[in-house]
Amino acid sequence: MFLWPKQGISLNKLNYSIVIERWEDLLNGVLFTLALSAAGIFLALVIGVVGVAMHRSGSGMLRVPVVMFVELIRNTPFLVQIFFLFFALPLVGIRLGPTVTAIIALAINGGAYSIEIIRGGVDSIPRGQIEAGAALGLSRRQIFGDIILIPALRAVYPALSSQFILLTLTSSVCSSISANELTHVAQRIESETFRSFEVYFTITGLYLLISWLIMAALSTLGNRHFSYPNQ
């Protein structure tokens, strides 16, 4: 009989009926995680685009805060960031619920990385294209949106998609503030049933499913809006 090392748990003693009985809780956790991730990804993309626009504005008053924001977020752990929002902000009178805190934390974290990814794409745009747009009399908004931003997003979309998948998996950390996402649900079920292997083996598969769904959605979005036109 095979035994797990140092645990003495026999494979024939595994009981997945516990997981089956709590399928509604797990489904709610999956749906919440998908919604949480979608909100975080959307806001992160908005922050990324706005941050790059501020960075390229030519104004030091706009550029410096963006640089400081990116360095602060990229060089601190996500757990510290979400704890700061949830536990430190109430000290100055700002109280946020677990769900709102989780969305804001994911947006801020993903936004900082999105700024750097998009900025790399923007820097790859040939200067000649920008000068050609200016020569045609296009406004700065038209030049940034049509000549710089869209081609830049096309160039970096695969990297941006990978970052958003990582952000989706990072949402599991939100369980630390009791946001009702999949990992938090799993922790609650495990604490009530003491069936650790069955619960966490199941949510491993569910996270694979969530990643696949987000990946499929991002791929569809990319093919529709950010793919290169047929020659």
Span 17-26, mean pLDDT?
Answer: 89
Span 205-221, mean pLDDT?
Answer: 94
What separation in angstroms does the CA of 50 have from each of 6, 114, 149, 172?
52, 10, 11, 27
Q: Mean pLDDT over all residues of the chain?
A: 89
The answer on pLDDT for 3 being more than 50 is no
pLDDT in tens, 131-149: 888 888 888 878 888 888 8
What separation in angstroms does the CA of 91 have from each of 85, 166, 191?
10, 31, 31
pLDDT in tens, 151-183: 889 889 999 999 999 999 999 999 999 999 999
SS3 173: helix
Span 203-211, mean pLDDT?
Answer: 95
- For domain 22-226, the CATH superfamily is MetI-like (1.10.3720.10)
Which sign does the torsion angle of CA 31, 215, 144, 120 carry?
positive
Q: Which of 16-25, 66-75, 181-190 has the lowest mean pLDDT?
A: 16-25
Domain boundaries, the chain: 22-226
